Amino acid sequence: MLLRSFQPRTRLLVLALGHGVRRLHVSAAFNAKAKVSMSRFEPSNYVNYEKLNENVNIVRKRLNRPLTLSEKIVYGHLDDPVGQDIARGRTYLRLRPDRVAMQDATAQMAMLQFISSGLPQVAVPSTIHCDHLIEAQIGGAKDLARAKDINAEVYNFLASAGAKYGVGFWKPGSGIIHQIILENYAYPGVLLIGTDSHTPNGGGLGSICIGVGGADAVDVMAGIPWELKCPNVIGVKLTGKLSGWTSPKDVILKVAGILTVKGGTGAIVEYHGPGVDSISCTGMATICNMGAEIGATTSVFPYNHRMKTYLEKTGRGDIAALADDYADLLVPDTGCEYDSMVEINLDELKPHINGPFTPDLAHPMADIGATAVKNGWPLEVKVGLIGSCTNSSYEDMGRSASVAKQALDKGLKCKAAFTITPGSEQIRATIERDGYSKILGDVGGMVLANACGPCIGQWDRRDVKKGEKNTIVTSYNRNFTARNDANPATHAFVASPEIVTALAIAGTLDFNPEVDYLTAANGEKFKLKPPSADELPKLDFDPGQDTYQHPPAEGGSKLRVDVSPTSTRLQLLEPFDKWAGGDLEDLQILIKVKGKCTTDHISAAGPWLKFRGHLDNISNNMLIGAVNIENDGVNKIKNQLTGEYGGVPDVARYYKANGLSWVVVGDDNYGEGSSREHAALEPRHLGGRCIIVKSFARIHETNLKKQGMLPLTFQNPADYDKIRPDDKISIKGLATFAPGKPLSTVVKHSDGTKDEFQLNHTFNETQIEWFQAGSALNRMKELQ
């Protein structure tokens, strides 16, 4: 929980920002030892375990049962712990997060929305992190310099907006948002929301860190209670102990194989059991990070000595000491119950590799060779890529260097191209000081900038042509079609950094380092020994260059944030139109999507990232990756007004210009993947009104609601098959739109026949107000 600095006589501070905003109740009688700063960058904002504990006790008494750790942290941040209706998987919780974090690609739209709100300052500690706009091309320093030049307008906007509205600014080159959060801002018991789907990384430090869209971040920065559907809790009990080639990454690769890409939807995954203590803090973060790939709201580990050691090593020993005092608060209650349970014996867990094209297709390393041959997947590994927000810790780099050193000692280098992405400037500087960078470079690796890079498609790849079938292996988290290099024929596999390093050295996918031999330069056969490395550096971390910009102490009221009306990168937002008051009649189907449709399909990243602050320009990528069921084509749909075929955005613009609203029909888990709200903003901007699918991914469904769209699901999934690409759809019942009450639809076919069926929704009363106002931001303005 968050407390600010107050004068001794201050009993109550009300931030009068309109209806429903944050009211901070502060007691002057602080226990001296409890006054521990949340971070070194915000010395007057304090960790408040006392309030967290008070709220947890209220809720525990109300529910009359033991609580999971997830419940303690989430319910401990309730706006109204006394009156809040609490039912897992059913009710919506109104929460008070402690802080907000935004990466630069999503921060542009979040800050544009915050500017539109008219508020003078953010109500909670907030930060912007420049990590998404740096393209990997020729190496770290040169790529960073190029990015600073190309993106100067965006970086200046974010820096000046941060200064004006009280948001900390991490400059390009500082590192990936999630590593920066782990090093500086996450701590046991904190509730943090971030505008990136891999925000759950912070769960490795006992935090509840949840990925959201920019509009959710605006709510929290405005001091408004943030809504979250009360999560179910999936327990993952770990027994045994990690050893040998098996790594923390293999835990989540195994869990992904068990739960699939949608098995965690609507739930927090809570790891517990005796096996937890064999995993480092950064290893726990790896597991929580990739929990996004099973659709989980977030993931979390209980506070233990590995977290304490990490806090101390990153200069936060005072937080560790305070956490020790509240240790019982930061672990699950004895006897707590989970909605479902997965058990994994770490003694028996083997190294895994997942893919291609989906992160839940899990294979033990012992099986991948035969499986690849059977399926016709290329065995030659073209590129091995380690790092990213999932696996770029000091321990990860050390274990990879341990493997690389063995190869070098035998006169070998990588057969595949090999890249290394440090997670932060602190990691880069420390692995350079301690010799890891030299080893990884000597074996054939190229160190990239401290940024997301190829993991999100920021990769100027030139070794294969687009459409050329090939295999890459990464220590990243996602491997959707064309995600890393924009080549749909690239078969991307996900594994631990040490496995990726071994495969890059061997050059082939069917190499299993547990049993297979390499040939040394002198012709002798040898096996790689299991990697070993220090969890944390023996010396202190080297912080490297100072890349943080503090908001001005005197406030930013006199500062200006200018957006040029001729800019191609930034565009001020215009309010979306309100609901007209009636049913939605004769919506044209824009596209009926076939199969998997992630946010990468809806709003591609890579070269499109440069338009994330310009809604009209970024909308030119809307649904260009989605497969049209009519012709199995991509970005090729029929314009029902002209009879001609065109790109999805082009047809949508034509419909909008001619006053024809439209609807998208989709399959299961629609919108899985990134938190990018552009996948919701773009359909709204181009005239969309409704998305009808079999099921949604959590973040995307919320983002659609925030922008005044209607995300609806088939009551009977088989009704998907009744819809034809040239149909017109009417949505009935909006005059009596209410929580829990289905809407109906009339589908008119071109042959004069029609179908009628029910559509479900998950709107609550507040979210219905968003729809009626035209967007959540419109509703916020109405309430000011």
- Quick one: DSSP state of residue 13? E
Q: Where are the beta strands (DSSP E) in 246-291?
A: 267-272
The single residue of 70, 475, 674, 675 carrying the catalytic annotation is: 674
Q: What is the DSSP string of 26-40?
A: --S---GGG--EEET
496 given a catalytic annotation: no
What 3-state DSSP class applies to 780? Answer: helix
Distance CA 291, CA 245 (A): 21
Please report, for residues 586, 730, 746, the alpha-carbon distance to residue 641 in angstroms, rounded to integers and kept in the order given.
13, 18, 20
Distance CA 34, CA 47 (A): 7
Cβ-proximal residues to 389 (8 Å cutoff; 6+ apart), any chain: 176, 177, 178, 179, 198, 201, 289, 423, 452, 455, 477
Burial of 782 per CB tally in 10 Å (0-12, 13-18, 19+): middle
131 given a catalytic annotation: yes
88 given a catalytic annotation: no
564 given a catalytic annotation: no
For residue 241, give the amino acid letter: K
The single residue of 129, 178, 352, 478 carrying the catalytic annotation is: 478
The single residue of 79, 98, 104, 196 carrying the catalytic annotation is: 196
Please report, for residues 481, 603, 745, 779, 780, the alpha-carbon distance to residue 117 in angstroms, rounded to integers and kept in the order given.
37, 25, 35, 10, 7
Cβ-proximal residues to 187 (8 Å cutoff; 6+ apart), any chain: 38, 47, 205, 206, 207, 311, 316, 319, 323
557 given a catalytic annotation: no
Distance CA 477, CA 199 (A): 13
The single residue of 129, 178, 491, 676 carrying the catalytic annotation is: 676
Beta bridge partners of 662: 588, 688
Cβ-proximal residues to 746 (8 Å cutoff; 6+ apart), any chain: 729, 730, 732, 754, 755, 756
Token pair for 37: 């700063």
> From the CB of residue 413, how many other CB atoms can be counted at a distance below 10 Å?
15
Q: Where are the beta strands (DSSP E) in 561-656?
A: 584-592, 627-628, 633-634, 637-638, 645-646
The single residue of 94, 96, 129, 132 carrying the catalytic annotation is: 132
Q: Give the HSE-up count for residue 513: Cα atoms under 13 Å, Cβ half-sphere.
A: 29
Q: Give the HSE-up count for residue 714: Cα atoms under 13 Å, Cβ half-sphere.
A: 19
End-to-end CA distance of the chain, in Å? 25
Token pair for 371: 């499986």
> From the CB of residue 348, how many other CB atoms can be counted at a distance below 10 Å?
9
- Phi first, then psi: give them for residue 594, nearest 5 degrees: -105, 125
196 given a catalytic annotation: yes
Beta bridge partners of 296: 265
HEC letters along 337-362: CCCEEEEEECCCCCCEEECCECCCCE
The single residue of 79, 98, 104, 131 carrying the catalytic annotation is: 131
Active site members: 131-132, 196, 478, 674, 676
